[in-house]
A and B are shown apart, each in its own frame.
Chain A
Amino acid sequence: MRLNTIEFLLQQSWEGVVRNGLVSLAAVANIAVALVVLGAIVLTGVNLQHMASLQAEAAVITVDLEDEADTAEIQAALLGRQQVKEAKFVGKDESLLKWAERIGLELPEPDPDRRVKLITELLGGNPLPDSLCVKPVDPQDIPAIAAEAKKIPGVAEVRYGEQVTEKLLTLARGTKISGLVMGLIMGAATLLIIGTTIRLTIYARRREIRIMQLVGATNWFIRIPFLLEGVFQGLAGALIAIIILLPAYSYAQGYIDRNLEFINLVYSTEVLAIFAFGLVACGLVFGAAGSALSLRRYLRVV
């Protein structure tokens, strides 16, 4: 396209934005609000997912074995499932040592073997069973794997840290769904208001459009300024949303770091860059779609 043509199209669309003044402003504000809400939901979802996966990485299933169980067979049965990544044997002595460490039992013995012996004597026997430490491929499958493991003969008991992981995952899922619903509502509202501004512009421009049609402008040429007008509004809204969201997020992140150490928010420049890019893309798509819908309805093409 020629420079003159590009300049002409940009100028036409900019005139549309300016001419509609307050309504354009309302459209931009609406897009900004919609994107802030959507963005906040997305960020929350991303963080919940992130926390859940941190939890999940540590998440294992402990399968306690009966005394005379065939360890190799149970191990094979577990590993035979696709959801299981690893099933490591943990002897009762090893468990005993870990337990002792966890409760902070002070022992003068540095050698592990002797320590085990000492604790066993102290307790009058090792009450812990041998066990398998099972790691899932996907932490979502933990409850399913546990249920299956319980059915294997020779398995005494199955334990896992169900509460936290599952709750986080449920929360993340819920966020995704509510994000989708909010997204649809906000999206519809945004399309509507952009459509309205474009409709106003079409009305204000009806003489110009007629002249364009009479002197032989193609339909696309006539549409482009309107599409650009919508895109301008979408981009402006997205920029405002970014200006609000990113500093707010960075503030929240600092606050949580200082006060709630156990929560780790995602804070990589890469993720935030993708996020900002996504907002811009959303603004662009909404802007273009809003005006396209309005054009379809209100622009009488030849």
Chain B
Amino acid sequence: MIHLQQVSVVYPNGTRALSNVDLHIERGEFAFITGASGSGKSTLLALVYRDIAPTEGKVIVDGQDIAKLPPRRVPYLRRKVSVVFQDFRLLPDKTIWENVGFALDVLGASRREKHHKVPLTLELVGLSSKAEDYPRELSAGEQQRVCIARSLVNMPPVLLADEPTGNLDPDMSWEIVQLLADIAGQGTTVVMATHDKRIVDRMGRRVVQLVQGMMVRDAKEGGRYDAP
């Protein structure tokens, strides 16, 4: 589903954020990207949703090399690859229902489609009862679940999460990661960048570790945060 081949990224200011990364993630897989701050986790994800282009190498998503994707095609890639961030990015003057529906509105969905998909997605993330509330009335964990619902509502095959638990306490973090694992279980490819050691160890899933932009470890099933 996601294939990085000999990818390097050098930012315009000269910072080398990734060096010769080779990474292959299959459909329906759940993978952690770990590494210290500044190791290139966000940069790696940004390549996949085409917020940046690689300086060298190929980035293949769903069979398509997106390294040279023309700008007008980027929106169509984003419909297949959605992103969840640490800071939720909800619209404060819209209800939870509207926040999730917004993602469908901007894709030109019909009202009927919206009324079908939004409740289903809210149920998936366990927020059906909060549909009419506003973001400020929700806990941080709940807000993150709204953000995940918004990313999922148009049923993308790939979900990227950049430190989705960064602002959450351990219990809430665990809930969110469980939710992401469930989503992966239903066939969505999920890639999560994190430096939450406890979560990574407790989950025991695939772990890709970056050190200063280089991929130093790719532990398949049963991965731990620290190298054994």
Q: What is the minimal beta-carbon distance from A212 to any residue of chain B, in angstroms?
A: 5
Q: Looking at the assembled complex, report how far the CB atom of A17 sits from the nearest CB atom of chain B, in whole angstroms.
A: 16
Q: CB of A260 within 8 A of chain B? A: no
**Contact partners of A301 in chain B: CB under 8 A:** 71
Q: How large is the interface on B (under 10, 10 to 19, 20 to 34, 35 or more residues)?
A: 20 to 34
A4 touches B151 (CB 8 A): no
Q: For A218, what are the chain B residues with a Cβ–Cβ distance below 8 Å? A: 72, 75
A302–B74 CB distance below 8 A: yes
Q: Which of A207, A210, A213, A215 contacts B107 (CB 8 A)?
A: A215
Chain A residues near B154 (CB-CB < 8 A) = 215-216
Nearest-CB residue, chain A, relative to B111: A4
Q: Is there contact, CB below 8 Å, between A219 and B79?
A: no
Q: How many angstroms between the C-alpha atoms of A222 and B82 in the bound complex?
A: 18
Assess whether A2 is in contact with B151, with CB atoms less than 8 Å apart: no
Instruction: Judge whether B105 and A8 touch: CB under 8 Å.
Output: yes
Contact bitstring B97-129, A, C-beta under 8 A = 1, else 0: 000001101111111001000000000000000
Q: Is the CB of B75 within 8 A of A1?
A: no
Instruction: Report which residue of A1, A213, A302 has the largest number of chain B beta carbons within 10 angstroms of its beta carbon.
Output: A302
Q: Decide if A217 is an interface residue (CB 8 Å cutoff).
A: yes
Q: Is B89 close to A, CB under 8 A?
A: yes
Does A177 reach chain B (CB closer than 8 Å)?
no
Is there an interface contact between B79 and A216, defined as CB atoms closer than 8 Å?
yes
Is the beta-carbon distance between A214 and B110 smaller than 8 angstroms?
no
When distances are taken between beta carbons in the complex, the residues of chain B under 8 Å from A3 are 110-111
Least Cβ–Cβ distance between A15 and chain B, in angstroms = 9
Instruction: Point out the residues of chain A lying under 8 angstroms from B91, CB to CB.
Output: 207-208, 211
Contact with B along A262-302 (1 / 0, CB 8 A): 00000000000000000000000000000000000000011
Closest-by-CB residue of B relative to A214 is B83
Instruction: Write out the residue numbers on chain B whose beta carbons fall within 8 Å of the beta carbon of A212.
Output: 106
Q: Mark A201-237, 1 if CB is under 8 A from B, else 0.
A: 0000001101111111111011000000000000000
B51: chain A residues at CB < 8 Å are 302
Q: How long is the Cα–Cα vector from A5 to B112 in the complex, in angstroms?
A: 12
A301-B78 Cα distance, complex, nearest whole Å: 14
**Residue in B75, B103, B109, B150 with the greatest tally of chain A CB atoms within 10 Å:** B75
Task: Check if A302 sits within 8 Å of B75, measured CB to CB.
Answer: yes
Which residue of B77, B83, B103 has the most chain A CB atoms within 10 A of its CB atom?
B103
Residues A214 and B82 in contact, CB atoms below 8 Å apart: yes
Bound-state CA distance A142–B157 (Å) is 79
Query: In the complex, which range does the number of interface residues on chain A fall in?
Result: 20 to 34
Q: Taking CB as reference atom, which chain A residue is nearest B92?
A: A207
Q: With contacts A208-B91, A215-B103 known, is A4 near B109, CB below 8 A? A: yes
A5–B111 Cα distance when bound, in Å, is: 8
Contact digits for A1-34, partner B, Cβ 8 Å, 1 yes 0 no: 1111100100000000000000000000000000
Note all chain A residues with C-beta closer than 8 A to B108: 1-2, 5, 221
Majority secondary structure, A binding face: helix
A291, chain B: closest CB distance, angstroms: 18
Given contacts A4-B105, A207-B89, A214-B83, contact A219 B111 (CB under 8 A): no
Query: Hey, which chain B residues are within 8 Å of A210, CB to CB?
Result: 89
B19 to chain A: closest CB distance in Å?
26
**CB pair A215 B89 closer than 8 Å:** no
B194 → chain A closest CB, angstroms: 19
Partner of A215, one of B72, B82, B111, B114: B82
Interface centre among A3, A5, A215, A221 (most CB of B within 10 A): A215
Chain A residue numbers with a CB within 8 Å of B89 are: 207, 210-211, 214
Complex alpha-carbon distance, A218 and B74, angstroms = 8
Would A216 and B107 count as touching, CB distance under 8 A? Answer: yes
**Distance (whole angstroms) from the CB of A148 to the closest CB of chain B:** 63
Docked CA distance A28–B75 (Å):
34
For A207, A216, A217, A302, the residue with the greatest tally of chain B CB atoms inside 10 Å of its CB is A216
Complex Cα spacing A4 to B114, Å: 9
The answer to the question of B30 belonging to the interface, with a C-beta cut-off of 8 Å to chain A, is: no
* Contacting residues, chain A, for B74 (C-beta < 8 A): 302
A160-218: which have CB < 8 Å to B?
Answer: 207-208, 210-218
In the assembled complex, how far is the CB of residue A210 from the closest CB belonging to chain B, in whole angstroms?
7
A147, chain B: closest CB distance, angstroms: 63
Chain B residues with CB under 8 A of A216 = 75-79, 82, 106-107, 154
Known contacts A216-B79, A221-B108; 7 additional CB pairs below 8 A are: A2-B108, A2-B109, A215-B78, A216-B75, A216-B77, A216-B78, A222-B106
16 A-B pairs (CB sep. < 8 Å): A4-B110, A5-B108, A5-B109, A207-B89, A207-B91, A211-B102, A211-B103, A213-B78, A215-B78, A216-B79, A217-B75, A219-B71, A221-B106, A222-B106, A302-B51, A302-B75
Please list the residues of chain A having a beta carbon within 8 angstroms of any beta carbon in chain B.
1-5, 8, 207-208, 210-219, 221-222, 301-302
